[in-house]
Homo-oligomer: A and B are copies of this chain.
Amino acid sequence: MSETVAELGEKAILQRLQPYCSGDKLGDDAAVLEPLPGFLLVVSTDMLVDGVHFSDRTTSPFDIGWRTAAANLSDLAAMGATPLGLTVGLGLPPSLPVDQLEQIYQGISACLQQHRTTVIGGDICRSEVLTLSMTALGQVTPQQQILRTTAQPGDAILVTGPHGGSRAGLEILQNPEWGESISQDDRIALCRAHQRPQPRLDVLPLLRQHYPDKRVAGMDSSDGLADAVLQICRASDVGAVLTGLPIPLMFTTIDPQLAQEWTLYGGEDFELVLCLPPTAAAAVAQSIGPNAKVIGQIVAGQTVTLMPPTPAATARTLTLQQGFQHFGAPATN
């Protein structure tokens, strides 16, 4: 049996976690960073709670750490910012085995290492329910900021990857009998999409290479693809027409209606939804690879319309009401 958090005590816990954090920065009252001259500082906070955002059934302690880190880095990517470091606030049940706490930190630092950044500080405290609160710090030049407010009619809407995989992975983890028509390899890939999402910081250098220092509007799709398009449209006071959804290839054997709903509203895919002129969008999409796709365009007005697959069917208007809501609903994952 691993020792519990209560048995080990706060100062010993901090010592145990030190290897996962940046050298000498943890000791003082605060961490110190040095942003590059001329860069803006970008700050994003995410909070995840056991039983609401994850459960042991679908998420190992390592993956809890990974997903929280990935969600935060995704918020930086959504702003066009590269990471400077992250702080971690941890609310810990006294009965939590210290092994599990270490696994959470291993997950956090594995994800951060991939993106060449680290934990620079934080706080731990006792709580009835395991809680992670992370704040990511990044930097971006004013020219390379990605905002929600600057989409313009005529822009192409580019997504950096398929959507709905995380939701399907969650379904498989919760109901292993679901989706038997999907191959074993694809099932594993879907679970992985849920458990180890990849923030798309890799897209930023490609954007800079193929469309340097130009206006790009956008955000990430953490709350779902439909939510991202609708939020961008509302913030930019424009509408959109979606002509082809980024449905994952492996969804071809499942109910088409469900495939469409999960692609639009599943959430937690952590891709980027970017609005930029069509030629630039095509060049950037090609540099990202076959998973990137132009899914429609920005138009005047305020309506987001999903065009039907055949001319005979009816177009659908998307609304925020169908989207993700954290309160009032029971825990879904």
**A residues whose Cβ falls under 8 Å from a Cβ of B:** 5-11, 13, 27-35, 37-38, 40-49, 51-53, 75-76, 78-79, 81, 84-85, 87-92, 94, 120-129, 131, 133, 135-138, 145, 147-149, 219-220, 235, 320, 325-328
Contact = CB atoms under 8 A, between A and B. Distances in A.
A10 B88 CA distance: 23
Instruction: Please list the 3 inter-chain residue pairs (A to B) with the smallest Cβ-Cβ separation, ordered nearest first.
Output: A133-B133, A30-B44, A47-B89
A100 to B, nearest CB: 15
Contacts of A13: 327
A106 B137 CA distance: 26
6 contacts: A31-B42, A45-B89, A45-B122, A49-B91, A91-B131, A127-B129
A11, A220, A325, most chain B CB atoms within 10 A: A11
Contacts of A52: 125-127
A9 B149 CA distance: 24
A32 B42 contact: yes
Contacts of A124: 47, 326
Specify how many copies of this chain sit in the oligomer.
Answer: 2
A259 to B, nearest CB: 26
A149 B32 CA distance: 14
A154 B252 CA distance: 76
Contacts of A34: 40-41
Nearest to A133: B133
A328 B93 CA distance: 10
Given A29-B79, A30-B138, A325-B9, A88 B45 contact: yes
Given A41-B35, A81-B30, A235-B27, A123 B327 contact: no
A105 to B, nearest CB: 15
A33 B27 contact: no
A127 B327 CA distance: 9
Contact of A49 (B37, B53, B125): B125
Contacts of A120: 43
A9 B328 contact: yes
Given A35-B35, A87-B45, A87-B135, A30 B75 contact: yes
